[in-house]
Amino acid sequence: MAPSESVVVEYAKSNRSSCKKCSEAIQSKTLRLGLVSRDKNRGFDVTKWHHLSCFPLPSFHSPPNTITGFSSLKVLSFSDIVSDDQEALTKLFAGQDNSEE
Who's near 69: CB < 8 A, 6+ residues apart? 8, 9, 10
- Give pLDDT, residue 72: 84
- Give pLDDT, residue 99: 45
Domain CATH number, residue 61: 3.30.1740.10
- Give pLDDT, residue 20: 96
User: Judging by beta carbons within 10 Å of its beta carbon (0-12, 13-18, 19+), is residue 53 exposed, middle or buried?
Assistant: exposed
Give the C-alpha separation, 88 to 79, whole Å: 19
Q: What is the Cβ-side half-sphere exposure of residue 92, based on CA atoms within 13 angstroms?
A: 23
Q: Domain count for the chain, please give it.
A: 1
Residue 47 is assigned to a structural domain of this protein: yes
- Give pLDDT, residue 81: 44
Residue 32 is assigned to a structural domain of this protein: yes
Q: The pTM is what?
A: 0.73
Secondary structure (3-state) at 64: helix
Residue 98 is assigned to a structural domain of this protein: no
Mean pLDDT per block of 10 residues along the chain (101 residues) reads: 75 94 95 89 89 81 81 64 73 64 39
Backbone angles phi, psi at 98, to 5 degrees: -70, -35
- Give pLDDT, residue 21: 96
With beta carbons less than 8 A apart as the criterion, state whether 51 and 28 touch.
Answer: no
Domain that holds residue 23: 5-80
